[in-house]
């Protein structure tokens, strides 16, 4: 089955700096890669996603890049703000469809 690895597990940045979170996946047939933000005690919320036919996608301060050959994808947050502090999860939808496999999460802390 699919295996998703995520790094780093914790990330601390100064307000205004950029943050990068990286994930690798194992199933070359995976075709959909979402990123979720989860605040303490809340549900995961989709913040951006990318499909396998696209190399990069941007939405205001966040962007995701995908390298299918290397089987890795990354989340980039620019001009970080304190409200960006949360746990971020990457995920991959396997070639068999239907189920998302999640990474282990990155605790992002944006310090003033």
Partner 1 sequence: DAGVTQSPTHLIKTRGQQVTLRCSPKSGHDTVSWYQQALGQGPQFIFQYYEEEERQRGNFPDRFSGHQFPNYSSELNVNALLLGDSALYLCASSLDPNTGELFFGEGSRLTVL
Work out how close the CB of 15 gets to partner 1 at its nearest, in angstroms, rounded to a whole number.
25
Closest to partner 1 by CB, 78 vs 101, is: 101
Give the Å distances, CA to CA, from 99 to 67, 77, 92, 95, 112: 21, 26, 8, 9, 38
Residues lying near partner 1 in the complex (CB under 8 A): 6, 31-32, 34, 42-46, 49, 89, 91, 93, 96-105
Find the shortest distance in angstroms from Cβ 14 to partner 1.
25
> Shortest approach of partner 1 to residue 93 CB, angstroms?
4
- Dihedral angle, C-alpha 4, 35, 98, 31, nearest 10 °: -70
Comparing CB distances to partner 1, the nearer of 19 and 90 is 90
**How far apart (Å, rounded) are the C-alpha atoms in residues 32 and 30?**
6
Q: The tokens 């919320």 sit on which residue? A: 45
């Amino acid at each position: 089955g699919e295996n998703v690895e995520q790094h780093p597990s914790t990330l601390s940045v100064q307000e205004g700096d950029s943050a990068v979170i990286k994930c690798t996946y194992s199933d070359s047939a995976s075709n959909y890669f979402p990123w979720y933000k989860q605040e303490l005690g809340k549900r995961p919320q989709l913040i951006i996603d990318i499909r396998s036919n696209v190399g990069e996608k941007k939405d205001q301060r966040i962007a995701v890049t995908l390298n299918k050959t290397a089987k890795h994808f990354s989340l980039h947050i620019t001009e970080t703000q304190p409200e960006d502090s949360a746990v971020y999860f990457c995920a991959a939808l396997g070639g068999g469809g239907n189920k998302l496999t999640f990474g282990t999460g990155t605790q992002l802390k944006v310090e003033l």
